[in-house]
Chains A and B, each alone.
Chain A
Amino acid sequence: MTGAEPVGSATLAERATAGVLADLSRVNQGAGRGVVVDSPPGAGKSALVVRAAGELAEAGERVMVVAQTNEQVNDLVDRLATDRSDLRIGRLSASDYVPAERVARHQTVTVSEKAADLADHAVVLGTAHKWAMTGVDAARPWAIIDEAYQMRADLMLRVARLFTAGLFVGDPGQLDPFSTVATERWTGLSWDPTQSAVSVLLRNNPDIPVHMLPVSWRLPASAAPVVSEAFYPFTGFRAGTTAGERTMEWNTRAFGMNALDCVLETAAADGWALCELPALHTLRTDAEVADTCAALAARLLQRGAVARSELGEAAVTASRIAIGAAHRDQAQAVRAALAARGVAGITVDTANRLQGREFDLVVVWHPLSGRRDATAFHLESGRLCVLTSRHRHACVVVARAGIPELLDAHPSAEPMFLNVPAKFPDGWEANQSLLVHLSRHRVRAA
């Protein structure tokens, strides 16, 4: 051991936040136009948004907050109103918006579809699409953009008329925004509209400071180093909790220990499990994988589990379990398999829709399972990152054998373009890194 005292996670996180807030006040004094904050999964991104909005409002600034979905806006409104009951908060909404209960219960929140009605409110929150439709008379000096890595640059172009300086917060490791048309027309341009808002912002404004939140409060000690190494190879982060602080225990003993139980035991003990089915090339909606995903979740509920963490002790109920897949039809197949087993209440969705959500246990349908080829879509590191970083306790990956061989047969062969900055992590590399780790927690299903 060296003599230096190791820095506690809380201290480390607080220092990072203080650094961001200091930069914000520098921008307020006229130095630069924005700050970018990269946040790994569960690193307190929303807390930072709420805190920054509060502090800016306290300093007398009028702030607009931009999030990507109505759910995200509702969450932020709720947190901000709870934290800062002294602030008048506006919720800019579409005309058919029905205020969620967690929004409506706050006295300090005004909901309106007209920005003019909210002009005297210190902080106004809305979705990027709503802000994009709003006239410039609603402009405010400050904007905080949440999930900025998931916002497409063309949407940012329409929103950016409304603010002078911005705080851009997001997770660079998650899925990039996508377009339904494939074109190379803008590749390499600094304002390529298919890129994320942050990539375009940074390419046009290279002086903007980029901060990184260093501690994940969601991922357990078993997952943080793995996810960090595979998907955040240069910046890295650590878990906010220690190995002993998060445990999962069973209410019942497995009788006879079949493969499913072995998978679950491994997941509970190690935080990871790879449930490997025999190698086979299949259609996208591989019925056996769908059924295994459903069976694992059903078995877990059947046996009953208790999750212990720094927040206390709670049963792992259906609402605390998610099953994630790459394609919508795969999610459909899993839902059908769950329904056939009479299991309800489990979240089953694609990576895109699981972004930003948190569960105790996540079952992942590996994007490359059963495939003959590894396309850019299936190799995208963000997809795998989202799927393997939603859990507080354990992650079970279900896959057909043969993925390492598939990866070896399909090295990245994407064309190179002039003026395109290299992107890290490389999807191929990230997949390999995660597979190497998973192979240590492998259980072969018969």
Chain B
Amino acid sequence: MSALTAYARTLAAERQIAQPVASVRHVHVSDRPLVFVPLQLAGEANAPLAAIVGSDRGTPTVLTVAEPRDRNQRFAFIADLADVILPYIEGYPLGTREAKNGNLVPVAGDAPQLIVPGPAAVAFTRLLGRSARFRRTDGPYAVPATVPLVGRWLSFYSERPEVPGSSLTLVVTDALASHWATGQSPEEDLNLASILGWIAPPPGMTGAEAALLAEDPVRCPPAGPATDPTFDNEVLEGLIKAVRAARLTGGGSGRIRHALTEELRTQLEPTWERMWQAVDLLRALRPGDHVASRWERDCSAFARYADWARATGLPQPKHDGAVQASRRLWDLEEDQRRFAAERAYDDPLVMAEHRMSGEAFAGTVAAAEPTRVDASGRRRVLRPRITVETGDRVVVEPGTVLTSPARTAQEARVISVEAGERTLVTLELQKGMGQSLTPPPGSVPELGERVCYATFNLGYQRRPEFPPREETPWTHGGPPAPYVPPDENAQEAWS
């Protein structure tokens, strides 16, 4: 936890209300997201019990499983889920665009967005997707064709939260916690009702009071996938037993099933409302400048996957191969670097954390030579110098190249740092000033202008070359066999 976050949390505890740690929104919120709240049966690995799902606040679909231990019912549940999710995804058509090298690249103007309550729901969705995507539609235990299809989409969407900066899957508690600091621990922030209580308490209540009330599972049923144990014991167990008894005696179970669905609905609907409340809270924030470009990258990731799935007809492999894993790690680290830089460039509150750690500083221009020309080289070049006066702790060394959020195309090389009561940093500027020896107005910071410089930049880095998978070296186990998903992939090591 950075010192600034620690301070914001202390402040939140003292003021009894959440404090903002971001001044703009750093996630994309779709106009028509698909909210998905799954519940699972306690004590059984990855057994879906119920879900509330839909893209319209007023008309959610509630799905339930009367006997979660029955595999047939489990996949019938997934088929029902597919009937909601697949038409939603099909509402986002794919197109193609011609790339520079002449190839046709799949593109999407907009992409489906999945919204889940917390990281536990992502983990559950991941396993649910994995259990469905390898299933066969013929032979023994055949499932409807929509089951493996929705399994692939659930797998795709449950993997997206690990990509820094991606909003294809929005994890609500994480999204809220990255914009507000509460007066409770990060573990407690995983409780949707309580973090919402801190941020937006009901009228007449403080955030702390609202969060305390949220701990009562009767008032606020858990957002899942784990259910309230008391509900399990006192309500669920009896109803599931009754359904089973009715089936064994051959009697009608319709009435009991209806009762079960109604009980599960009481567990799901409060969370449904809170999910949309959180969506409203996030929508109310002004989006950061780079949110749109990150969403564009999300859209092309969606289009690329949809295109790959359509072309190959294959489920995603259970594991990454050696080359794929290394390549993905490189991509994730690059996304991480860019997301961190974009967040700071978009948001002075985030930049403040970097200023405290010495990776950035802000101040005013105390001296400027906007028309300075360096004639030492072969040709005369424009190299303006400015001196920034700052009260921040400056730890950059001379020679370091810095970038300013106000002029991202421009490089500023540190010439000297004079420490003192107010530190003076002299910078030499290049790029972003046109070709002539007189800089266009506004391209060089003016005397008295407030500026900020950071050691990180938004520059795009090209992924280096990795060997093709057929040439996986011996140190990494040699080339793998070609990918044909075996039937055993539908088995889990622990099942």
Q: Is the CB of A158 within 8 A of B333?
A: no
Residues of A within 8 A of B330 (CB): 154
Looking at B30-38, B423-431, B463-471, the stretch in contact with chain A turns out to be B463-471
Given contacts A132-B464, A179-B333, A181-B162, are A200 and B320 in contact (CB under 8 A)? no
The smallest C-beta distance from A280 to any residue of chain B, in angstroms, reads: 16
In the complex where A180-B337, A329-B358 touch, is A205 in contact with B474 (Cβ < 8 A)?
yes
A88 at the B interface (CB under 8 A): no
Tell me, yes or no, whether B473 is within 8 Å of chain A by CB: yes
A201 interfacial contact with B, CB 8 Å: yes
Decide if A158 touches B358 in the complex (CB within 8 Å): no
Closest to B478 in A: A204
**Contact assessment for A181 and B475 in the assembled complex, using a CB-CB cutoff below 8 Å:** no
B:369-402 near A, CB below 8 Å: 393, 395
Q: Which A258-277 residues have a C-beta within 8 angstroms of B?
A: none
Closest to A192 in B: B325
The size of the chain A interface, using a CB distance under 8 A, is 34
Chain A residues positioned under 8 Å from B336 (CB to CB)? 180-181
Question: Are the C-beta atoms of B477 and A190 separated by less than 8 Å?
Answer: yes
In the complex the two chains form, is A158's CB within 8 Å of B329's CB? no
User: Could you tell me which residues of chain B, from 442 to 495, have a CB within 8 Å of some CB in chain A?
Assistant: 464-467, 471-478, 493-494
Q: Which residues of A contact B311 (CB under 8 A)?
A: none
A183 interfacial by beta-carbon distance below 8 Å: yes
Bound complex: CA A329 to CA B357 (Å): 7
* Cβ–Cβ < 8 Å partners of B464 in chain A: 132-133, 158
B329 engages A181 (CB within 8 Å): yes
Q: How far is the CA of A189 from the CA of B467 in the complex (A)?
A: 19
Smallest CB–CB gap between A168 and chain B, Å?
9
State in angstroms the CA–CA spacing of A185 and B320 once bound together: 9
CB distance B3 to A193 under 8 Å? no
Measured between beta carbons, the chain B residues less than 8 angstroms from A180 are: 333, 336-337
**CB of A283 closer than 8 Å to a CB of B:** yes
Contact with A along B1-40 (1 / 0, CB 8 A): 0010010000000000000000000000000000000000
Residue B323 at the A interface, CB < 8 A?
Answer: yes
A194 within 8 Å of B by Cβ?
Answer: yes
- Residues in B with CB closer than 8 Å to A200 are 475-476
Query: Is the C-beta of B352 less than 8 angstroms from some C-beta in chain A?
Result: no
When distances are taken between beta carbons in the complex, the residues of chain B under 8 Å from A194 are 329
Name which residue of chain A comes closest to B494, CB basis.
Answer: A418
Interface residues of B in 162-187 (CB under 8 A from A): 162, 164
Residues of A within 8 Å of B164, CB to CB, are 181
Is A153 a contact of B471 with CB atoms below 8 Å?
Answer: no
User: Judging by beta carbons under 8 Å apart, are B475 and A197 in contact?
Assistant: yes
A424 contacts partner chain B, Cβ-Cβ < 8 Å: no
B466's partner among A158, A183, A191, A332 (CB-CB below 8 A) is A158
Chain B residues whose C-beta falls within 8 Å of the C-beta of A161 in the assembled complex:
467, 471, 473
Chain B hits for A204, CB < 8 A: 474-478
Q: In the complex, are the beta carbons of B162 and A183 less than 8 A apart?
A: yes
B337 CB, min distance to chain A CBs, angstroms: 7
B326 at the interface (CB under 8 A from A): yes
A157 contacts which chain B residues (CB < 8 A)?
322-323, 326, 466-467, 472-473, 475-476
**Known interface pairs A192-B325, A200-B476, A205-B474. Does A186 touch B3 (Cβ–Cβ under 8 Å)?**
no
The answer on a CB contact under 8 Å between B474 and A33 is yes
Residues of A within 8 A of B475 (CB): 156-157, 160, 166, 197, 200-201, 204-205
Chain B residues within an 8 Å CB radius of A329: 357-358
Query: B322-342 vs A: 1/0 string, CB under 8 Å?
Result: 110110111011001100000
- What is the CB-to-nearest-CB distance from B321 to chain A, in angstroms, rounded to a whole number? 8
Known contacts: A161-B473, A179-B333, A191-B476. The answer to whether A154 contacts B162 by CB under 8 A is no
Given A161-B467, A179-B333, A191-B325: A186 in contact with B474 (beta carbons within 8 A)? no
> By the criterion CB–CB under 8 Å, are A193 and B477 in contact?
no
A-side contacts of B472, CB under 8 Å: 157
Alpha-carbon gap, A283 to B10, bound state (A)? 13
Judged by a CB distance under 8 angstroms, whether B319 is at the interface is: yes
Residue in A closest to B359 when the chains form the complex, CB atoms: A328
Q: How far, in Å, is A421 (CB) from chain B's closest CB? A: 15
Query: A395 to B236, alpha carbons, bound, how many Å?
Result: 62
Q: From known contacts A186-B325, A332-B395, infer whether A191 and B477 are also in contact, taking CB-CB under 8 Å.
A: yes
Q: Are A160 and B332 in contact (CB under 8 A)?
A: no
With both chains docked as a complex, state the minimum distance between the C-beta of A97 and any C-beta of chain B, in angstroms: 15
| Complex: A298 Cα to B9 Cα, angstroms | 38
Query: Which residue on chain A has the smallest CB distance to residue B162?
Result: A183
Residues of A within 8 A of B319 (CB): 186, 189
Q: How far is the CA of A189 from the CA of B69 in the complex (A)?
A: 30
B325 touches A154 (CB 8 A): yes
Cβ-neighbour of A193 out of B6, B329, B467, B473 (below 8 A): B329
Q: Report the separation of the CA atoms of residues A191 and B3 in the bound assembly, to the nearest whole angstrom.
A: 37
Closest CB in chain A relative to B23 CB, distance in Å: 24
| Proximity bits, A149-186, B CB within 8 Å = 1, else 0 | 00001101110110000100000000000011101011
Measured between C-beta atoms, what is the minimum distance from A169 to chain B in Å?
A: 15
Question: In A192-211, which residues have CB < 8 Å from any B CB?
Answer: 192-194, 197, 200-201, 204-205
- Beta-carbon contact of B325 and A158 below 8 Å: no
A71 and B479 alpha carbons, distance in the complex (Å):
34
B333–A283 contact, CB under 8 A? no
Complex CA gap A84/B323 in Å reads 38
Distance (whole angstroms) from the CB of A194 to the closest CB of chain B: 7
CB neighbours (8 Å) of B393 from chain A are: 332
**Cα distance A204–B6 in the bound complex, in angstroms:** 44
Contacts of B333 in A (CB 8 A): 179-181
> What separation, in Å, do the CA atoms of A204 and B321 have in the docked complex?
13
Task: Compute how far the CA of A190 lies from the CA of B329 in the bound complex, rounded to whole angstroms.
Answer: 15
- Nearest residue (CB) in A for B332 is A181
**Complex Cα distance A180/B341, Å?**
14
Most buried by A among B321, B358, B474, B494: B474
Q: Identify the closest chain A residue to B319 (Cβ).
A: A189
Q: In the assembly, what is the distance between CA of A166 and CA of B475, in Å? A: 10
Q: Which residue of A lies closest to B471 (CB)?
A: A161
Give Cα A204–Cα B3 distance, bound, in whole angstroms: 43
- Contact partners of B493 in chain A: CB under 8 A: 418
Please, which residues of chain B bring their CB within 8 A of the CB of A418?
Answer: 493-494
- Bound together, the chains give a CA A133 to CA B332 distance in angstroms of 20
In whole angstroms, how far apart are the Cα atoms of A156 and B319 in the complex? 20
A158 and B468 alpha carbons, distance in the complex (Å): 10
Q: What are the 5 closest A-B residue pairs judged by CB atoms, nearest first?
A: A160-B473, A154-B326, A191-B322, A204-B477, A193-B326
A-B contact pairs, 11 of them (CB 8 A): A154-B330, A157-B323, A157-B326, A157-B466, A158-B467, A191-B321, A191-B476, A192-B325, A193-B322, A204-B474, A283-B3
Extra pairs beyond A185-B162, A191-B322 (17, CB < 8 Å): A133-B464, A154-B326, A157-B322, A157-B323, A157-B475, A161-B467, A180-B337, A181-B164, A181-B333, A183-B162, A183-B332, A189-B319, A190-B477, A191-B477, A200-B475, A328-B357, A332-B395
